[in-house]
Structure 1
Amino acid sequence: MELTIAGVGARLGGRWVVDGVDATPPAGALTGLLGPNGAGKTTLLRLVAGILPPDAGAVLVADDEAGAQVPVHALDRRHRARRVALLEQESSATVPLTVREVVALGRIPFRTLWGSDPDDAAVDRALAAATAEHLAERAWSTLSGGERQRVHIARALAQQPELLLLDEPTNHLDVSAQLSLLAFVRDLGITTVAALHDLNLAAAFCSHVLVLSEGRLVAAGPPRDVLTPALLREVYDVDAVVLTHPRTGRPVIALTGGTGDPPA
C-alpha cells in the first residue's frame, strides 16, 4: 500500500503531540518509527490507523477503485479495518480464548450480517504465515511473550491488511524472539511501520526510519544515513559511535554515555 503522511498534527491536553509530520514510508517495506519516550510515536500510529482524527493535515492511502490517494479517515470503519491493521502495545487478556479464537478476531470486518466468514481458511493461512499453527489449540493465557506476539501478528494477517502498524512489538521479548519477530515482519512484503525503542534493531531490520522528537519529524531515510552520531546526540542526548556490522554491513550503534556524563 502507498502511504503518505501529509502535514499531520494532533493536539492532546492543549499541546501539539504530533506537529506537522510529512513522510512517505516505502511501500512493501519495514519502516522504523523512532524517538525517545513522549516523542509522539504511539499518537502518530493511531493517526495513521485512522483511530485518532488529525487536527491538521491528512493521512493518505491508495483508493482501491480509483487508484488515487484518499484520506484514511474518509474510509468507513469496516473498509478501513480490512486494509489497515494496528497492533497496539500488548495488554493482558481477561477472556479465556484459544489461539485460533484470538486469530479469528481478525476476521470480524469480513463477517456477514449472519455472522459467517466468507473465507474460513483465512485463519489457517494466517497461523501458517506466522508459523504459529502448532499453537492453534493452546489457551492464550499459557503462551510466552514471543508466542503471543506471533499470534498478534497472525491476527493482523487474518485481516489481510495492506498496511501493518506495530507499537513496540519487541517489548518484553528475549533477544532471540526479538530478532525472529522482526525478521519475520520484514519479510512479509507488507507496508509496515513499527515503533521501536532499540536503535540497533531498527538499524538491523528496517529499510527506512522516521525519527520523531517532541512531536516533530527531525529525520527520515535509510538507517545508515539517518542514525548518525550528531542526530543521536540531538534527539537522545547520548554520545555514540556508529560502526558497520562485519557480516551484514548494517549500522551498529555503540553508545558511549549521555552528553551530560563526566569525561572518562
Structure 2
Amino acid sequence: MELSIAGAGARLGGRWVVDGIDATPPPGALTGLLGPNGAGKTTLLRLVAGILQPGAGAVLVSDPGADDAAPTLPVHTLARRDRARHVALLEQSSDAAVPLSVREVVALGRIPYRTLWGTDTGAGAVDRALVAASAAHLADRPWSTLSGGERQRVHIARALAQEPSLLLLDEPTNHLDVSAQLALLGFVRGLGVTTVAALHDLNLAAAYCEHVLVLSDGRLATAGPPAEVLTPALVRDVYGVDAHVLSHPVTGRPVIAYSPPGTEDA
C-alpha cells in the first residue's frame, strides 16, 4: 500500500499537536518515526491509521480494492471494515487483564474477516502470525500470565493476523530485551510491508530503518535515509544532546555515540 502524508495536521486540546506534515514513506519498507516525547509521533500514527480525522491536509493511501493506477484516497474515508483489513495499528500496549488465551487475543485481529455467521475465511492466519512473532509457544497460555515482553510479542502477532498492507507500530520494542528488539525489527523489515514505527532508540532506527521521519514540536524536522538524516546537528537541534555519529564496523550504518553533559568542552 502506498502512503502519502500531505500537509496533515491534528488539533487537540486547543493546539496543533501535529502541524503541516508532508512525507511519503517508501512502499514496502520500514520507516522510523523519531522525535522526543511530546513531538507528535503517536498522534501522527493515529492520523495515518484513520482513527483521527485531519484538521488540515490529508493522509492518502492507495485504494486496497483497485489496481495500481487507481487514485489515492483519504484513509479516514475508507469503510471501517476495509480499513481494518489493510491497516494495522499496534498502539502502546495496555496491561489490562482479560480472561482470554493468547490464541484468542491474536484471533481478535481476524475480526474484520469474519462472516455474518462468525466464521473466518483465512484459515491458518492466527497460527502464521503466532509463528512469525515467535509466540507460537505461548498460544495456550492465559493472557494474564504473560510478562511484558511476551505480551508485546502477542500484540505484534495480533497486528500481523490482520494481514495488513500498511503496518503502524507505536514503540514496538518496549519491554523487549536487546536480543528480542533486534529480532523484531529485523523481522518487520523483512516483511515487505509498508511499515511506520515510532521508535525512541536512534541506534535501532539507524540499524533497521530504510527511511526516517523526525518530528519536533509537532512539525517535520527532516526526512530521508538514516545515514543522511541522523547527523550530530540534528541530534543537537531536536534532542538537545551532543553526539558523535560513527560508522558501524560491520554494516556501515550510523551509530550514535552520545556525549555526557559537560564533556564536549573538555
Which TM-score bucket, shorter chain as reference?
over 0.9
> For residue 236 of structure 2, what is the aligned residue in structure 1?
233
Counterpart of 1:47, as a letter, is: L
Counterpart of 1:43, as a letter, is: T
CA distance in 1, matches of 2:38, 2:44: 11
Percent identity of equivalent pairs: 78
Q: Is the 8 A contact 2:90 2:159 kept in 1?
A: yes
CA distance in 1, matches of 2:160, 2:264: 49
From 207, 211, 229, give the equivalent of 1:208.
211
Residue 52 to residue 261, structure 1, CA distance change in 2 (3 Å): farther
Q: Size of the alignment, in residue pairs?
A: 263
Counterpart of 1:29, as a letter, is: A
CA distance in 1, matches of 2:182, 2:230: 20
CA distance in 1, matches of 2:143, 2:30: 27
Pick which of 74-83 and 124-133 moved more: 124-133
Q: Is 1:167 aligned with 2:179?
A: no
Matches within 5 A, 1:54-203: 54-63=54-63, 64-66=65-67, 67-203=70-206
CA distance in 2, matches of 1:173, 1:160: 23
| Root-mean-square deviation over aligned CA pairs | 1.4
How far apart are 1:261 and its partner, in Å?
A: 7.4
Q: Could you list the per-position Cα deviations for residues 158-215 of structure 1 after superposition, in whole angstroms to 9, with x for gaps in the alignment?
A: 1110000000111122212211111111111111100000110110110100000000
Q: Could you list the per-position Cα deviations for residues 37-95 of structure 1 after superposition, in whole angstroms to 9, with x for gaps in the alignment?
A: 11000000000000011000111110122532111011011110000000000111321
> For residue 246 of structure 1, what is the aligned residue in structure 2?
249
How far apart are 1:262 and its partner, in Å?
A: 7.9
TM-score, normalised by the number of residues in structure 1:
0.96
Q: Could you list the per-position Cα deviations for residues 120-159 of structure 1 after superposition, in whole angstroms to 9, with x for gaps in the alignment?
A: 3211121122232222111122223332222111111111
Counterpart of 2:56, as a letter, is: A
- Secondary structure of 1:94's counterpart equals coil
| Structure 2: 5+ residue stretches without partners | none
CA distance in 2, matches of 1:61, 1:261: 46
CA distance in 2, matches of 1:171, 1:129: 18
**Which runs of at least 4 in structure 1 moved beyond 3 Å after TM superposition?**
260-264
TM-score, normalised by the number of residues in structure 2:
0.95
CA distance in 2, matches of 1:261, 1:93: 43
